[in-house]
Structure 1
Amino acid sequence: MQGRFLSFEGIDGSGKSTQARHLAEALRAAGHEVVLTREPGGSAGAEEIRRLVLEGDPARWSAETEALLFTAARRDHLERTIRPALARGAVVICDRFADSTRVYQGVTRGDLRALVDALHDLAIGVEPDLTLLIDIDPAEGLGRARARAGTEQRFEDMGLAMQERMRAAFLEIAAAAPGRFRVIDGAGQPDVVAARVRSALAADWR
């Protein structure tokens, strides 16, 4: 039996990672096999690329180079983690997928959407069955993201204007694919947002 592929998207600090974990726990409690994974990452090779693209100076890579690196990581992730899990009937919940590359490299750092889409069509060729976009005010999201300790701050260091452009780009992509996207208000405590996620899934989960 083919599984189901769900992705969570949102700007930095939106709470999408927390909500992906909440949903994975709820589905496991309901008896589903769930593979919770992330991008960039989710496989050994992709995790190595993650360190290259999320750490270091904000100007470390050009947007074109980033698009290539993210696509390479996604291909390895797809081959080694996502497809095998779906083939055995698992639910795959991915913290970011191709929509993040469409936004981060295809829109906010230059007019590279055509390149990003071409790379996706050539090397990936799949979309999630459903994407949950956790929408939040960019200033609040950036504050949350900067409060986190860690070395993966390269995109947060690009500032509030970048977060604002990313939010607008995510909402534009969601509006263009209403059958795949569910936009979730990310304001409030995590359990409140989790209830919104479950409500949004109720009509789709059979």
Structure 2
Amino acid sequence: MAEALMDSEATVANMRVIGLLLFAIIVCEIGCQAINNEIFRRVQGKYFSTNHSLSVETFRSQLQCVLLCQRQKCCLSVLIRQETEGFSCRTLDSFIPIKALVHDAMGSYVYKTDPSSAADFTWRDPVNLKFILKFNIGISTGVSDVNLCLKKCNANPYCMSIEFITYKSGRKECNLNGISSKAAGSAYQKSVNTNIKFAKFQEKTCNV
């Protein structure tokens, strides 16, 4: 009789554990579906290191991080990393090119997919002979002036900045960047290319 009672209690305990595991899986699935929708897209297991942010906060779930980004007018993406105390959330007023992300089992990158998400962004004044290295998402040759280069960037919802270059040979080039100068950090540099005759860097900024 005692053994039967112990077996029954063990069965109940096991069922509770299984129930909790199933609940956790369901919550995770709901969270993943909520993140991957028509507004946001999540890249799991990837991360990007930057000191720039709109805000840095810690939450219990990734979904809370995404909701924070949704509430912030200028937020375009959020870098999430699971830490001991919860999920560290760094919201950004910039996109990060997918190819620039590095493998991180504890990290996630979530970005807005709505083409109108940068509707409150306008172009800042140009800066001469400045470049963002490594984060190029498109190169167009034969573009005759800066305005056409800006139009090409505006046509790409993930373009954050441009470099319009005229070389001494006469060749002109329009580089589209998928990141802002602040988010790029040390990759934003002054050009030392002696073959360049003229160059302008220009980026989008959010009107708060």
* TM-score tier after normalising by the smaller chain length: under 0.3
**Larger strand proportion of the pair:** 2
The TM-score with structure 2 as length reference comes to 0.27
The TM-score with structure 1 as length reference comes to 0.27
Higher relative contact order (CA 8 A, sep 6+): 1
